[in-house]
């Protein structure tokens, strides 16, 4: 495989932050609770059905939002996740508080009986802008097997239509494993039919209950990332725990004969064939692709868990500090761990000598899950640095 490797030559293939990622995050995910009524096989949080009495209280949560707003403009995007955030009765109060501070608030609920139109309308009135739902299979059989409960697949489509109808932006999240990778074209079709503004594709990190599932090999992941870039003209795509999507976007930029330059393996050929078949009768209208953004664990991105511990990512269980002991901005700017994650020259193995280390940097979560060292090389990437 031959490919161009200069990152400076194709600046529009990737979006860069307009501010210093060492000073302020672009996005903060807050796990407001770990309680959830689903039993997803890939759950990062190993969620349980009841709330932890030591969760951040309403007052502590509002203080966290105050601290996030104190970064000033551009303020970080805030996503309230879980567990299932709808397990918290004070969710509308937290959303209204964040909105009042000028924060852009989004929600990532589980599809359960608590996800009602009534509560969604209340959250929309409180100022929430976007809602993300998980869709991990193209059939009830695959999706419900992931979720551990029958009927969630159909309920997800109903909830997605309600979310759109109320006026939220809809995001669909899909976790890719070796079990569902062949269903990606059908999931893409569902994403388009539901009118989602963003498809967020997670690459399984073997952490939490996800340790029991089989992730893709590095070669399979490379093929899927190329396919995602192929179809990024149909829907905006974001990858999670696969920052080498940015390396691929840069490598492909300006290359006319992509197949000759990168080759097409059997998995990508299958995904491509199935995609063409699904859309043969009614080809979707292409859109201008949205380049991936240069954000990574601890570098523009941070995660706060249900008891206030800050992590570089929800999939990287190495703590950086507690918001109960220090304000979030202090932890984000001064934690030794987060600072080291923002220094690509400190990375080990091939990531440390890679020509793409400043714009990619590798999945620090994959490195940590495999070696126990968040600065080690990312084993889920196929690239061999020049
Ligand atoms: S070797 Fe590491 S830094 Fe280079 S593209 Fe792969 S994951 Fe990214």
What is this structure's pTM?
0.93
Residues 126-160: tens digit of each pLDDT: 999 999 999 999 998 887 777 777 888 999 999 99
Q: How far is the CA of 383 from the centre of ligand 1 (A)?
A: 6
Q: Is residue 384 part of a domain?
A: no
The model's confidence at residue 239, banded by pLDDT at 50, 70 and 90, is very high
Tell me whether residue 377 is in a domain.
Answer: no
Using the predicted structure, report yes or no on whether residue 5 has a pLDDT greater than 50. no
* Nearest-atom index, ligand 1, CA of 350: 1
- The string of pLDDT tens digits covering residues 259-301 is 999 999 999 999 999 999 999 999 998 998 999 999 999 999 9
DSSP for 38-106, written as a single string: ---TT-TT--BSS--TTS--HHHHHHHHHHHHTT-SSPPEEEEESS-GGG-TTHHHHHHHHHHTT-EEE
Would residue 32 count as lying in a domain? Answer: yes
Residue having the nearest C-alpha atom to atom 8 of ligand 1 = 362
Select from 98, 72, 87 the least CA-distant residue to 38. Answer: 87
Q: Which atom of ligand 1 is nearest to the CA of 377?
A: 2
Ligand 1, atom nearest to 354 Cα: 4
Q: How far is the CA of 145 from the centre of ligand 1 (A)?
A: 33
- Residue 127, domain member (yes or no): yes
353-373 pLDDT, tens per residue? 999 999 999 999 999 999 999
Instruction: Name the residue range of residue 62's domain.
Output: 11-296
Q: Which residues, 6+ apart, have CB-to-CB distance to 175 below 8 Å?
A: 42, 134, 136, 146, 202, 203, 204, 210
Distance 350 CA to ligand 1 centre (A): 7
Residue 16 belongs to some domain of the structure:
yes
Based on the structure, what is the number of domains in the chain?
1
DSSP 8-state assignment for residue 321: E
Is 311 a member of any domain?
no
Find the CATH number of the domain harbouring 288.
3.20.20.70
Residue 364 lies in a domain: no
What is the pLDDT confidence band of residue 214, given thresholds at 50, 70 and 90? confident
Q: What lines the ligand 1 site, CB under 6 Å?
A: 244, 247, 350-351, 354, 356-357, 360-362, 378, 381, 383, 385
Residue 150 lies inside a defined structural domain of this protein? yes
**What residue's CA is closest to ligand 1, atom 7?**
362
Distance 363 CA to ligand 1 centre (A): 8
């Amino acid at each position: 495989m031959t490919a161009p490797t200069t990152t400076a030559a194709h600046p529009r293939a990737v979006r860069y932050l307009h501010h210093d990622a060492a000073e302020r995050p672009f996005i903060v995910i807050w796990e407001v609770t770990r309680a959830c009524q689903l039993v997803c096989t890939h759950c990062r949080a190993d969620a349980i059905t009841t709330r932890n009495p030591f969760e951040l209280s309403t007052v502590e949560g509002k203080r966290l939002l105050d601290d996030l707003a104190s970064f000033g403009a551009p303020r970080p995007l805030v996503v309230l996740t879980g567990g299932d955030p709808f397990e918290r009765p004070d969710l509308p109060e937290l959303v209204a508080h964040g909105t009042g501070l000028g924060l852009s608030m989004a929600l990532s609920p589980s599809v359960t009986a608590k996800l009602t139109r009534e509560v969604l309308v209340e959250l929309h009135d409180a100022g929430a802008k976007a809602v993300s739902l998980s869709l991990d299979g193209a059939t009830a059989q695959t999706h419900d097997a992931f979720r551990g409960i029958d009927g969630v697949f159909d309920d997800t489509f109903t909830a997605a239509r309600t979310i759109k109808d109320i006026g939220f932006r809809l995001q669909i999240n899909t976790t890719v494993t070796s079990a569902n990778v062949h269903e990606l074209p059908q999931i893409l079709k569902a994403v388009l039919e539901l009118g989602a503004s963003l498809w967020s594709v997670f690459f399984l990190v073997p952490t939490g209950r996800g340790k029991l599932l089989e992730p893709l090999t590095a070669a399979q992941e490379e093929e899927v990332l190329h396919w995602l870039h192929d179809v990024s003209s149909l829907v905006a795509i974001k990858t999670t725990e696969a920052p080498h999507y940015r390396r691929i976007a840069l490598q492909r930029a300006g290359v006319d004969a992509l197949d000759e330059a990168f080759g097409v393996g059997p998995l990508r050929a299958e995904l491509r064939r199935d995609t063409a078949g699904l859309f043969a009768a009614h080809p979707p209208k292409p859109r201008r692709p949205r380049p991936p953004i240069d954000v990574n664990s601890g570098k523009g991105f941070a995660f706060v868990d249900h008891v206030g511990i800050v992590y570089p990512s929800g999939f990287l269980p190495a703590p950086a500090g507690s918001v109960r002991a220090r304000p979030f901005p202090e932890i984000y700017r001064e934690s030794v761990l987060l600072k080291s994650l923002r220094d690509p020259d400190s990375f080990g193995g091939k990531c440390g000598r890679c020509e793409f280390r400043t714009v990619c940097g590798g999945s620090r979560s994959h490195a940590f899950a495999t070696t126990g060292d968040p600065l080690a090389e990312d084993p889920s990437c196929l690239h061999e640095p020049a």
